[in-house]
Amino acid sequence: MRNLHSDVPMMAWLHTLVAFEATARHGSVKQAADELSLTPGAVSRQIKHLEESIRAVLFQRGHNSIELTEAGRVFLAKVNVALAAVRTGVQEVYGLATRLTVKVPLTLMQRWLIPRLGEFRKTHPATDLRLRTMPPPAGDQTDIEIVYLRGEPRLDGEFGALFLLDRTVPICRADLIAAKNASLTPEQLMSYPILQDTPDGWSWHQWCRQQGVAYQPQKNVLIFDTDEASIDACLAGLGIAQANMAFISPILARDDLAMPCGAKGAVLGGYYAVIRNANPAAETFVEWLRTAGLE
């Protein structure tokens, strides 16, 4: 069978097309050379190589001038289309390689991730992060999803990369318990207003179990469906909340906040980064999460 490409000359390298287009646009080898950071001789050699490759004279050369031939004008129209397609393709690939969509739980986003993003952007300025707390629109792909799993930390990677433990302690406004340095036993805590961050009171049940006491609040319990709301209610003086140490460490130095049982914490679960769309940028971000989580 005849080779369909046997009569088509081997195409010159892409840089010869770029040199040709720049020379045709400027009408000058020197100006094209300045734009491309080359010498005029290098540009002239590239154009000559291109003409030899396609077996056509592209420029009519004078003493101090250079003009496109008819073949050059026809070829330039094709080259412009081709180079535009290449540039568009490079931009699209660049965008896909560096754009990263990450789905993040709200409290983790506000109290842990955002304060650390400046460091990530310093070391990875080319990564375009898109952070979502809600499911993405149809057709918008999530590269990484950060999920929270209750229970003992899974270190085998089956559920994603573990990067942050949910280690909680009770916190409250200092005026709720009379003084910042007041110390209460876990049993005494039950006589104060309690704030739950989930309807089933998971964090309180687990913390009490690990302290060896029953979770039996003696007053009305305020129930929320996010830990962010529970922390905000705590800061407003409405009761005692369970809060992840990693989320509240920046605000514990405030004079009006207290840990009524000291640092008696309990590990309730962990945050895992699950890569939904494997790419180098996603791998880099997950590795950064793991490093940041070990601070």
Residue pair 240/264 in contact by the 8 Å Cβ criterion: no
109 vs 132, 134, 147, 198, CA distance in Å? 9, 12, 12, 18
Residue pair 207/170 in contact by the 8 Å Cβ criterion: yes
Higher model confidence: residue 61 or residue 6? 61
The average confidence (pLDDT) of the chain is: 87
Average pLDDT over residues 266-271: 93
Q: What domains sit in the chain, N to C, each tagged with a CATH number?
A: 14-96 (1.10.10.10), 104-293 (3.40.190.290)
The predicted pLDDT at position 4 comes to 37
Label residue 11 by pLDDT band (50, 70, 90): very low
The predicted pLDDT at position 89 comes to 64
Place of tokens 């309990």: 266
The predicted pLDDT at position 93 comes to 62
Task: Output b/e per residue, 62-87; b: 16+ Cβ within 10 A.
Answer: eeeebebeeebeebbeebeeeeeeee
- Least confident interval from 50-54, 146-150, 160-164: 50-54
What string of DSSP letters covers 142-168?
-SEEEEEEESS---SSTTSEEEEEEEE
Q: Coil, strand, or helix at residue 234? A: helix
281 vs 23, 120, 287, CA distance in Å? 38, 12, 10
Label residue 8 by pLDDT band (50, 70, 90): very low
Res. 72: pLDDT tops 60: yes
